[in-house]
Amino acid sequence: MPTEHRIPATPETIRWGAFDASFKPVLEVESGDLVVLECVSGAPDGMPDPSTGMLVPPALAAIHAAKPPRLGPHILTGPVAVKGAMPGDVLRVDIEKIELGCDWGFCGFRPLGGTLPEDFPYKRMLHIPVDREKRIGHIPMGPGIALPLSPFFGVMGVAPPAEWGAISTKEPRAHGGNLDNKEIGEGATLFLPVHVAGGLFSAGDGHGVQGDGEVCINALEMCLTGHFRFTLLKDEKLLYPRAETPTHYITMGMHEDLDEAMKKALREMIGFITSRTNLSAADAYQFCSLAVDFHVTQTVNGEKGVHGMLKKGLLF
């Protein structure tokens, strides 16, 4: 019978800003098990003034106090190993539930970052109250904006190939990582190629809501708790992350050049279609032009992202 596990965010269960095949798992589970990952977000200099009533969660405060080693920007909970996972396998990650972990979030930009650094060469930070019961963020702009939330994890990934060493969580790559894909939320499934024994899955960078592009650097960054079910797939081959929602199949492309990211997402979609049908690559190329939507995922992580969305039922 599948087992449910829970991993709190503590100085011992998180890694700050890094993926590395050498990281020891904080938990090993069986294929089919459900793992609840408590994830926190934010560096000390991004915390709200206590006078606002927006308080730092104790788990996040404890991590700040411990001052763990830091490579990139995101606090990740994990990694979790799946027994039997080996390079060449695929890890299926079903995101069964996402809970809001805090009653506020933040969104900011800074010099030299974002999509328009030449237009906004200064620092700005908004702390945004969240109604957890109604899942609404109250944006302090003008008279105030009530924005419905649609939470997802910006960073979900397995360990990269061992030869890569320690890599920052900033750039999304073949191992997943900082995908910032708002479609991969509650009810979605992420498929990741396994590069090392156990797979070593981690998640973090909780987003309460985000527009495609994530143009200023941040979404609504906040603490989230995710319920992830892991299934090991031995009979599938995958070189790049792929996803699925109740309504769409999703391919992805990442590259520092947005044109190249688009080409990668398109080639991945063509390959996906030809693997599931008797269509030729030329057929699939034309079908993509007719029926597949390609979105700019994000433009702020160095490796920019594009994702293609094929509506279910059109081909299979």
pLDDT (tens digit, 9 = 90+) per residue, 49-93?
999 999 999 999 999 999 999 999 999 999 999 999 999 999 999
**161 shares a domain with 210:** yes
DSSP for residue 221 = B
Q: Are residues 161 and 121 in the same domain?
A: yes
Q: Please indicate, yes or no, whether the overall pTM of this predicted structure exceeds 0.85.
A: yes
Q: Looking at residues 153-173, what average pLDDT do you find?
A: 98
Burial 210-243 (b: 16+ CB within 10 A, else e): bebbbbbbbbbbbbbbbbbbbbbeeeeebebbbb
The CATH number that applies at residue 268 is: 3.10.28.20
Range of the domain at 293: 247-311
pLDDT mean over 189-203: 98
Residues 161 and 265 reside in one and the same domain:
no
Please give the Cα distance from 307 to 262 (Å, whole number). Answer: 8
Query: Chain-centre distance of CA 127, in angstroms?
Result: 21
Q: What is the dihedral of CA 116, 298, 224, 15, to 10 degrees?
A: -90
Is 143's pLDDT higher than 90?
Answer: no
Q: What per-residue confidence (pLDDT) applies to 142?
A: 85
Contact call for residues 168 and 72 (beta carbons, < 8 A): yes
Residues 92 and 30 in one domain: yes
Q: CATH no. for residue 20? A: 2.60.120.580
Shared-domain flag, residues 59 and 116: yes
From 90, 82, 70, select the one nearest 16 (Cα to Cα).
70
Count of structural domains, the chain: 2
Domain match, 167 and 43 both: yes
φ, ψ for residue 66, nearest 5 deg: -75, -20
Nearest by Cα to 194 from 253, 237, 243: 237
Count CA within 13 A, CB hemisphere, residue 75.
Answer: 31
263 found inside a domain: yes
State whether 59 and 119 are in the same domain. yes
pLDDT band of residue 280 (cuts 50, 70, 90) is: very high
